[in-house]
Amino acid sequence: MGRLVDLALRYRVLVLLGTLFIAAMGIVSLNNLAIDVEPDITPNQVLVLTRAPSLSPLEVEQLISFPVETAMSGLPGTRRIQSVSKYGLSYVAVYFNDDMDPYFCRQLVNERLAQAKEAVPPNVGVPELGPISTGLGEIYQFKVTGPGRSLMELRTILDWNIAPKMRLVPGVVEVNSQGGELKTYQVEVDNEKLASYHLPLSRVIEALGKNNANAGGAYLEHSEQQSLIRGEGLIGSLDDIENIVVANSPTGTPIFIRNIANVQFAPMVRRGFATQDGKGEIVVGVAMMLLGENSRAVADRVKEELAELQKTLPPGVKIETLYDRKDLVNRTIQTVRRNLIEGGILVIAVLLLLLGSFRAGAMVSLAIPLSMLVAVTGMVQAKISGNLMSLGAIDFGLIVDGSVVIIENILRRLHERKPEEPVEETIRRAGAEVAKPIFFGVAIIFLVYVPILTLSGVEGKMFKPMAATVLFALVASLVVALVLMPVLSWYVLRNQTEEGPTRIMRKIDAWYRPVLQHALARPLLTGGIAVGLFAISLIGIPFLGAEFIPSLDEGSILVQMYRVPGISITESLHGNEIVETVLREFPEVQRVVSRTGSPEVATDPMAIDQSDVYVTLKPMDDWPKKRSKDDLIGAMKKRLEEEAPGAVYSFSQPIQMRMQELMEGGSRSDLAIKLYGEDLDTLRRTADQIAATVAKVRGAADVRAERVAGLPYLRIRLRRDELARHGLDAASVLDTIESIGGKTVGTIVEGNKRFDMQVRFPLQQRESTQAVSNLRVGDNEGHFVPLGQLADIQDEEGPAQISREGGQRRITVELNVRGRDLASFVADAQKAVSANVRIPSGYELQWGGQFEQLQSASRRLMIVVPAALLLIFALLYFNFRAVMPAVLIFLNIPLAATGGIVALLLRGMPFSISAGVGFIALFGIAVLNGIVLLTYIRELQQEGKPPREAAEQGAETRLRPVLMTALVASLGFIPMAVSHGAGAEVQRPLATVVIGGLVTSTALTLVVLPTLFSWIEERARRRSAERGGLRMSPQAR
């Protein structure tokens, strides 16, 4: 390492030019860095979506979901396959290994789709790939408004004027529509008139199909030219439909569509809607981001494109923003930026105060921007976004530690320099003295972050980018310390006249010397106190509790509302208006928007009985009542249960809900208790028992068992004998049944727009079971038979939703945990379920959600952390070439953990993966300080000083660098520890651990480490002397 310092000083100009080049690259990379709130934890999945409007959940499972699952089984790299079957919708998610290319995964699934389509019965539905977006891809929501315009007009403007152009925006993969009414050309056929004209419904459907087409006749040559022959028969208006001839009467009079039907524009049967602030329906568009894109940049482009589109819309039509991900990104990044700036200021202030040299402090401070620019370059090359995790966990103290040690030593050696010694030689010698401990110290910090890189799954996607960013910065900081700092010292400090320690350092030294001497005189007492403190901290570990990661405060609330399956759209709309009105009355609320049912692209398969209510909150500074967000949620839930009963309410946040859903492929809550089996009734009964049991455990909130039953059906079972007796086929009857809801018989083209043409019976002929039973089915001979004679018609209940995973049916009990940590809650809940619920034979129970991720991360860390600790010990041994000093420094790790554990206990924070990352950073700093101190003590001992004198002098000499490394590391985290900005919840545990751990670690490093070294060395010397005396006594005789 000394050779590296020598080379740097020899090629000083080259070093400075290289630094400028690297800084320029970093600035360019900074402009290209993707910015987001949190890492995208979307699993590597491909969605297969199938619309089947006429099928029940059981039929969807049997005819679509199961064949698609079967077709996808055995694909290379497949981890699991999940499906959800609802009325009219099949949702199949195929999960692949994270290291596979997502486009290759889509290609694999697409190849199997042909097989899946063959297995699905014709005219049932066509399986299609879902958009290549992410679970956090909904980056921009807007609504389309226009006074005096109908919901159908607004939806048409969104679907055909806005959405197609929005899909052309770079980074936008889909624009999903929800709310409003889908325009159709509806042929409302009167069943009674059909019977009076002796016309079967099939004749109407056939006539509409045959009269809606164009044709070409090649071309016609005349003279020296040719004319293309074009036959136009496409329907272009309602009048065209009315004037279609269905048949001729016995007298030869044509029977037109207008004679048997009312032709009009009418809405398609709706699968969902959107409302706002209790004031009625709205039309919503959601821009979905392409996988791997920069959310802030895409949101900016979407906003710009919408502003341009606004100029082209009809008069009075406006686009209004409902949600912009960029707002949360900016608030979160502002928190990170503020914490980094404040931490940097504190670090620089400490350097100036303790070094006593403005020039030296400024030089060390340069390590911060240079290392950060290198880290940003690495992030851009590794495609890591700048977010709360990747940038928020960087501690400037870690970055400047190496530079602090080398500059402090250079200053000290310059102060001690003899006049005849060249300045360059002094700087070279000072740098070489500490180069090795700096290298090994940074290498060990580097090594303690390596276990994070081994994490996989959700926890890997959360924390690996952070570890990679820190490692980039650490490598840069090492090069800056060993290469740039000696060169800058030659230019800046060669004429420095230092007067020795600053006044602050002299005061600290005056206090430290007697404490150290007292400890050296009582080594066993000193060691006993250290062991006692560690033992006390171990006692506190069971009281910590554990969670996966703290929740990020997004500045909004998501209320998930679950009603009785089978609720009508009208009643669901009315319920939403009540809920929105109640929530809007809270003074903290700015806006309430609800989305009910499935959007046009069913990436989120919800039924009409499910609503997501997005509550946008005002900034906390504008809240009239000073209460916490949890208190506000409690008040909201109480009001909703009082004024809008009949629904189950679960509270979360938009991004948090999506992240939880991604963790479990469908669970939207903190904890998911999954039960696997085949019989739906058994699954439902057992799940209800589990839900009732866990609801009694302290901390349980928003407990809900997935509703798989209770959906009302009007079951129409054809009677084959009656069909045969009346000479009818099943197709004629099924056409009649399908026309109750609207049978699509063609497409109408209006310029670039496309609308379905549907055949449907009037409302009075389909508004009740009796009306449906009275519908008459005709044959080609004009004979008509009531539907009630051809089929058994009865009301009954059936499945509302069927979920599958791993080839088995599955039901989930979901709940949130409030007021306590997740791990202790699960332990109590598992005991309660084990004691009170009997799991049927052949059925399996699993505990998932965040708890599953916590367990997965903990299991992996239990393996890799001990391995990393062994590697650290190996590096320490390689550095000292002796076991004793390596063991002594290694003891710093548990001593550092003492303060981190106590700090978490004092602040009431459970252990989380964020806190675990803090412990990793803490161990690295503690080991670095130990290396710096013990290396110098051993050098003094090798010069011939007795162990106690070497320990005392070495500790006093290294007091300043050890204090500075500890102070800059801890002070750099103080803004994070006390911050309350957006995203601070994730950073606080990490900062708390580092600050608390460095308090104990520094004290123990400066007191316990030299004391134990002195005591062990003196004992070794005495034993060696005694053995030498015994060997000499026979010679004396």
Residue located via tokens 């103290």: 397
- Averaged pLDDT score across all residues of the chain: 85
Higher pLDDT: 1022 or 272? It is: 272
Digit-coded pLDDT (tens) for 569-609:
899 999 999 999 999 999 999 999 999 988 776 667 788 88
Tokens linked to 745: 């018989």
Residue reference for tokens 């006249």: 497
Residue 1031 predicted with pLDDT over 70: no
pLDDT band at residue 315 under the 50/70/90 scheme: very high
The answer to whether the CB of 391 falls within 8 A of the CB of 382 is no
In contact, 309 and 50? CB cutoff 8 Å: no
Q: At what angle do helices 396-416 and 485-492 cross, to 10 degrees?
A: 50
Token digits of residue 1017: 């060395």
Do residues 39 and 393 touch, judged by C-beta distance below 8 A? no
pLDDT 10s digits, 627-645:
888 889 989 999 999 999 8
**How many Cα atoms are found within 13 Å in the side-chain-facing hemisphere of 740?**
22
Q: Residue type for 742, please?
A: G
d(CA 93, CA 85): 12
How crowded is residue 116: how many other Cβ atoms within 10 Å of its Cβ? 21
Q: Which of 70, 28, 114 is nearest to 380 (CA)?
A: 28
Domain 184-214+229-267+712-799 has CATH 3.40.50.300: no
Amino acid at 296: R
pLDDT per position as a tens digit, 235-259: 999 999 999 999 998 888 999 999 9
Contacts of 126 (CB under 8 A, 6+ apart): 50, 51, 117, 120
The answer to which of 61-65, 717-721, 967-971 has the lowest mean pLDDT is 967-971
Res. 1033 pLDDT band, cuts 50 70 90: very low
d(CA 71, CA 166): 34
Give, as one character, the DSSP assignment of residue 449: H
Q: Give the residue from 215, 193, 219 showing the smallest Cα distance to 204.
A: 193
Find the range with the poorest average confidence among 29-33, 754-758, 1028-1032: 1028-1032
d(CA 885, CA 935): 9
Q: Between 719 and 939, where is the model more confident?
A: 719
DSSP β-bridge partners for residue 613: 559, 594
pLDDT in tens, 422-440: 888 888 888 888 888 888 8
The angle, 0 to 180 degrees and rounded to 10, between the axes of the packed helices 325-355 and 396-416 is 20
Contact 650, 668 (CB under 8 A): yes
From residue 883, give the alpha-carbon distance in Å to each of 809, 874, 879, 889.
Answer: 58, 10, 10, 10
Cα 476 to Cα 16, 77, 427, 482, 623: the distances in Å are 15, 37, 21, 10, 45
Task: Please tell me the predicted confidence (pLDDT) of residue 662.
Answer: 67
Instruction: Return residue ranges of the chain for CATH 3.30.2090.10.
Output: 184-214+229-267+712-799
> 626: closest CA among 653, 599, 588?
588
What mean pLDDT is predicted for residues 827-837?
92
Q: What angle do CA 850, 693, 82 make, to 5 degrees?
A: 45
Give the pairing type, strands 133-145 and 281-290.
Answer: antiparallel
Residue that has been written with the tokens 């045959």 in this structure: 210
pLDDT of residue 938: 86
| Torsion angle of the four alpha carbons 531, 533, 536, 538, in this order, in degrees rounded to the nearest 10 | -70
Instruction: Report the distance separating Cα 618 and Cα 615, nearest Å.
Output: 10
* Residues 982 and 334 sit within 8 Å (Cβ to Cβ): yes
Which tens digit of pLDDT belongs to each residue from 170-183? 999 889 898 899 99
Query: If you average pLDDT over residues 35-45, what whole number do you get?
Result: 78
β-pair type (183-189, 753-760): parallel
Three-class DSSP category at 627: coil
Question: How is residue 122 written in tokens?
Answer: 């014709």
- Residue that wins the pLDDT comparison between 165 and 31: 165
Task: Work out the percent of the chain whose per-residue pLDDT is above 70.
Answer: 95
Q: Which residue has the higher pLDDT, 926 or 676?
A: 676
Q: How far apart are the first and last CA of the chain?
A: 53
Q: Does domain 506-543+882-1022 sit in CATH 2.40.40.20? A: no
The CATH number corresponding to 1-32+356-500 among 1.10.3720.10, 3.30.70.1400, 1.20.1640.10, 3.20.10.10 equals: 1.20.1640.10
Q: What is the pLDDT of residue 525?
A: 87
pLDDT above 60 (res 1034): no
Give the residue among 53, 273, 314 at the shortest CA–CA distance from 181. Answer: 273
Candidates 941, 938, 934; CA nearest to 892 is 934
Which tens digit of pLDDT belongs to each residue from 120-148? 888 788 899 988 877 778 889 999 999 88
Which pair of structure tokens corresponds to residue 800?
Answer: 């509302």
Judge residue 312's burial from the number of C-beta atoms within 10 Å of its C-beta, 0-12 exposed, 13-18 middle, 19 or more buried. Answer: exposed
Q: What is the pLDDT of residue 753?
A: 92
> What average pLDDT does range 933-944 have in this prediction?
84
Q: Do 155 and 179 meet the contact criterion of CB atoms below 8 Å apart?
A: yes
Helices 457-479 and 850-880 pack at an angle, to 10 degrees, of 30
